[in-house]
Every structure is written in C-alpha cells, then in structure tokens.
Amino acid sequence: MRLELTNRYNAMGIPEPDPETMCDGECEGTGVVLVPSDEMSEPWRSLWLEAEKEGSDHTGWHVVRCPDCNGTGKKGGA
C-alpha cells in the first residue's frame, strides 16, 4: 500500500510560507479562509454574508480573504 500525502499549500499550488513572515491569522499563510454558513463569530460571519451577496454556490461555504493579512498570507498584510 502506497500513501501519497500533501499539504494545503501543495494542494493549492502555492509555495509553503516562511514561518518568520507568514500571517499569524486563521489563513496560516494562504491568504484565504474557508468559512461555513453556520459560523456566527465575527469577523467570519460578516465576511461570509458579504461573499454570499456576491453569489452563492449553494454549498454553504465561502472562501474569504483573511482579515489579518488582507489576503497576502504575510504578517501585517505586506
């Protein structure tokens, strides 16, 4: 039996972040966060509702830009 493992960075086709410069927020250096429709805590609820206004794919999930790094994946949004 052969197992093939991957991580979120390889799966998304982005380089693994440098721990020294990566965002400390929920995105873990990817710049985006997957948010479910039943998330009630802020800022995730507001970000989900905003994404829903732009269009629903009827799955109950939205990929939103990380509010800590503004989607850059870097500390301070740099």
Euclidean distance between CA atoms 51 and 2, whole angstroms: 39
Grade residue 78 by pLDDT with cuts at 50, 70 and 90. low
Grade residue 7 by pLDDT with cuts at 50, 70 and 90. confident
Whether residue 54 is predicted with pLDDT greater than 80 in this model: the reply is yes
**Mean pLDDT for all residues in the chain:** 90
Euclidean distance between CA atoms 65 and 61, whole angstroms: 13
Whether residue 46 is predicted with pLDDT greater than 90 in this model: the reply is yes
Q: Region 10-29: what's the mean pLDDT?
A: 89
Whether residue 36 is predicted with pLDDT greater than 70 in this model: the reply is yes
Give the residue from 77, 72, 64, 76 showing the smallest Cα distance to 33: 64
Q: 């503004």: which residue's tokens?
A: 70
Domain ranges of the chain: 34-78
